[in-house]
Amino acid sequence: MRRMLFKSLVHGPLTEAAPKADDAALAELAAQVDRTARLRLGRTLSIREVDAGSCNGCELEIHALNNIVYDLERFGLRFVASPRHADVLLVTGPVTTNMREALERTYQATPAPKWVVAVGDCARDGGIFAGSYACVGGVSAVLPVDLHIRGCPPSPITLLQGLLALLETVERSVK
C-alpha cells in the first residue's frame, strides 16, 4: 500500500481539467436567479440525488462525477446524504407514480433556497417511458425545475457542464 501511495504522490493527480460551463444551461438559468438567495450560499452547493424511476444509467454517470478523474468536490459541489443538507435536488427518471410522493416529500424536506436539476431525457418529459400508466412523465410535472441536463444518460462531462453553469450563475449573481 505504501508503494502505491508513494507512486501517486510522484505521478501527480489523475484528475482532469474542468470543462467550460454549458452555454445552453447558462441561458436557461439566467432567467431564474434570485440574487439574495445566492448571497447566502457562497460558492458551494450541496446536492441531494433522487432517483425517481431511472433505469440507473444516470446514477452510474452521476457516480462517476465523484471519481478521481472528474473530482466534483474541487468545484465546491458535493453530494450530501439528506435533503435537509441540500441546496440542489438532482432528480433522475420519468417520475414513476410510485415515487411521486417520495419525491415531493424530499423536496419539502429541502430548505429554501433550493434548486431542482432534472437529469436525463426521461426526467425532461418522460422520454421513452412517456405515456405509461406508471409514469407521471418528467420532473417538471411534479416540481419546479430550474435546469435540465439532457442525455441518455448524460456523460459526466455534460453533467459537469450543467452543474458548473449552475454554480457560475450563482457566483455572477453574488458579484
Partner 1 sequence: MTETTPAAIKLRDVIRAGRQVENHSPWARAVINHEDWRQAAASLSDGQWTLLGLWAERDQVHMAIIDGGDLGLLSLPCEDKRFPSVGQLHPPAMRLERAIRDLWGLEPEGLADTRPWLDHGKWPPATFNDVAHEAPPLAARDYAFLTAEGESLHQIPVGPVHAGIIEPGHFRFTANGEAVVRLEVRLGYVHKGIERLMQGASIERAAMLAGRVSGDSTLAYALAFAHAIEAAHRIDVPPRAVWLRALMSELERLANHFGDIGAVCNDAAFAMMHAQCGHLREQVLRVADRCFGHRLMMDRVVPGGVERDLQRDSEQEVHSLLVQIRKRFPELVELYDNTASLQDRTVGTGIVSSALARQYGCGGYVGRASGRAFDARRTPGYPPYDRLQFEVPVREDGDVDARLWIRIHEVEQSVALIDQIIRQLPRGSIRDPAQTVRTSQAHEGVALVEGFRGDVLVWVRIGADGNIERCHLRDPSWFQWPLLEAAIEGNIVADFPLCNKSFNCSYSGHDL
Report the residue from 17, 81, 108, 112 that binds partner 1 according to the rule CB under 8 A.
Answer: 81
Residue 1 touching partner 1 (CB under 8 A): yes
What ranges make up the beta strands (E) of the chain?
45-51, 77-79, 88-92, 115-119, 147-149
Q: Shortest approach of partner 1 to residue 165 CB, angstroms?
A: 21
DSSP state of 154: P
The three three-digit cell numbers of residue 161, written as one number: 457542464
Among 113, 132, 172, 174, binds partner 1 (CB under 8 A): 132
Dihedral angle computed from the Cα positions of residues 136, 140, 142 and 144, in that order, rounded to the nearest 10 degrees: 180
Q: Which of 54, 55, 52 is nearest to 142 (CA)?
A: 52
Report if residue 84 touches partner 1, rule: CB under 8 A.
Answer: no
Q: Binding-site residue total for partner 1 (CB under 8 A)?
A: 48
Complex with partner 1: residue 32 or 67, whichever CB lies closer: 67
- x/- site string to partner 1, residues 39 to 78, per CB under 8 A? ----------xxxxxxxxxxxxxxxx-xxxx---------
Near partner 1 by CB under 8 A, which window of 30-38, 101-109, 142-150, 160-168? 101-109
Closest CA to 137 of 118, 152, 122, 121: 122
Helix extents (H) in 31-155:
35-39, 57-64, 100-109, 121-125
Instruction: Report the interface residues with partner 1, using CB under 8 A.
Output: 1, 4-5, 14, 49-64, 66-69, 79, 81-83, 93-94, 96-102, 106, 128-129, 131-135, 152-153, 155
